[in-house]
């Protein structure tokens, strides 16, 4: 295993898929000549040229719709949203054209498109730039949603997403790009992680922390503290994919520990965790020793101030406090 940053692992995944399939094309604002606003695509334009790595104007509805149209013809566009927050100007194309065209055509069409980019708060860019839309899009059947937390996962999942024949909305995190972790060596074969499989990132016995994306890191940190300071042993389950969702893994951990705290960077109304809590209370009604609790982003638009921004987001401190209410 090598140590790579999340950004490098992601780029490697993109690069490998560009090499594997000539129908893969990367598009978005500043992805080519500028090397990407967050440098995810750095070097790819130099390597692959104008045809495969394409800069677009600031027209998200236009170029994402264009990608969807091209995908109907068998192109496999990987579209970067500079921020996932900019989905708001392309929403119709994403939910109606990518999400519904297969259904409305009775299965005649499929859209093998990936839309990717960072979806997170915590970078001081304020309310309009800090939307966290995993739950928003997972609500639309026809769409798949992925939110990887580690370098190995981001590589394996981007590759699976590009090969998937349905539209996959791939949500990264600006604050993870620089984090590092082990990634399988190239000699060990194609590193592809199927969508729909959660990953138990830490094993414990007393309580289940269930999270995705950067919240997994907070959950792991909280689990450490809980173990050390409170002798509470936690499973940390990383959902990795939101839709398809690994319900079996969720129910398994809860049936083992009988208590769950969900960590979710979304707001509480409509977040992924509302769905997961609903599933757990339904399927594990007799297993639960306490209500399912959640740690979400505080329910206001994202505040700018660097002094309190992190307090609005899930963090280890808030998780520990929430766990202690039911442990």
Ligand X SMILES: Cc1ncc(C[n+]2csc(CCOP(=O)(O)OP(=O)(O)O)c2C)c(N)n1
Residues in contact with its own copies by CB under 8 A are 61, 88-89, 91-92, 95-96, 99-100, 103-104, 126-128, 131, 135-136, 138-142, 243, 266-271, 273-275, 277-278, 281-283, 285, 288, 290-294, 299-301, 303-304
Residue 285: what are its φ and ψ, rounded to 5°?
A: -50, -45
* Residue 33 interacting with another protein (CB under 8 A): yes
Catalytic residue among 12, 16, 60, 134: 60
Tokens of 187: 């000699």
| 172 among known catalytic residues | no
* Residue 63 interacting with another protein (CB under 8 A): yes
Residue 166: what are its φ and ψ, rounded to 5°?
A: -115, 165
Considering beta carbons, is residue 17 or 204 the nearer one to another protein?
Answer: 17
Cβ neighbors of 241 (< 8 A, separation 6 or more) are 144, 145, 146, 147, 157, 195, 196, 197, 198
Torsion from C-alpha of 125, 267, 154, 12, nearest 10 degrees? -20
Considering beta carbons, is residue 127 or 186 the nearer one to its own copies?
Answer: 127
| 129 among known catalytic residues | yes
Residue reference for tokens 């334009």: 45
Q: Which helix (H) or strand (E) holds 11?
A: helix 6-20
Under 8 Å between Cβ of 241 and 294:
no
Which residues on adjacent β-strands are paired with residue 170?
Answer: 116, 146
CB of 132 to ligand X, least distance (A): 17
Q: Which range binds ligand X by CB under 6 A, 63-71, 81-89, 173-181, 294-302?
A: 81-89
CB of 294 to its own copies, least distance (A): 7
Residue reference for tokens 């579209």: 79
CB of 59 to ligand X, least distance (A): 9
Q: Which range binds ligand X by CB under 6 A, 82-90, 110-118, 263-271, 298-306?
A: 82-90
Considering beta carbons, is residue 104 or 324 the nearer one to its own copies?
Answer: 104
Query: Looking at the annotation, which residues are catalytic?
Result: 60, 129
């Amino acid at each position: 295993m090598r140590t790579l940053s999340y950004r490098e692992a992601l780029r490697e995944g993109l690069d490998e898929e560009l090499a594997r399939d000539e129908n893969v094309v990367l598009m978005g604002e500043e992805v080519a000549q500028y090397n990407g606003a967050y440098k995810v695509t750095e070097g790819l334009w130099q390597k692959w040229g104008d045809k495969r790595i394409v800069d677009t104007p600031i027209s998200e509805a236009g170029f994402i719709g264009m990608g969807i149209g091209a995908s109907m013809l068998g192109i496999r566009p990987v579209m970067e949203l500079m921020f996932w927050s900019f989905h708001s100007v392309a929403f119709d194309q994403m939910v109606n054209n990518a999400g519904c065209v297969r259904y409305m055509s009775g299965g005649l069409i499929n859209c093998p498109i990936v839309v990717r980019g960072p979806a997170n708060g915590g970078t001081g860019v304020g309310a309009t730039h800090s939307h966290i839309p995993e739950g928003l899009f997972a609500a639309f059947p026809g769409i798949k949603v992925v939110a990887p937390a580690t370098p190995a996962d981001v590589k394996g999942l981007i590759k699976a997403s590009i090969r998937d024949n349905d539209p996959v909305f791939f949500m990264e995190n600006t604050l993870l790009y620089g984090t590092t972790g082990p990634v399988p060596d190239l000699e060990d074969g194609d590193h592809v992680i199927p969508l729909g499989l959660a990953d138990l990132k830490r094993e414990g016995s007393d309580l289940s922390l269930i999270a995705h994306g950067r919240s997994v890191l907070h959950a792991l940190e909280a689990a450490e503290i809980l173990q050390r300071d409170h002798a509470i042993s936690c499973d940390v389950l990383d959902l990795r994919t939101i839709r398809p969702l690994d319900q079996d893994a969720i129910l398994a951990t809860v049936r083992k520990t009988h208590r769950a705290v969900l960590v979710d960077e979304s707001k509480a109304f409509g977040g992924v965790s509302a769905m997961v809590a609903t599933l757990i209370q339904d399927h594990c009604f007799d297993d639960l020793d306490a209500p399912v609790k959640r740690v979400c982003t505080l329910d206001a638009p994202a505040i700018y101030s660097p002094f309190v921004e992190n307090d609005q987001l899930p963090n280890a401190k808030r998780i520990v406090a929430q766990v202690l209410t039911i442990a």
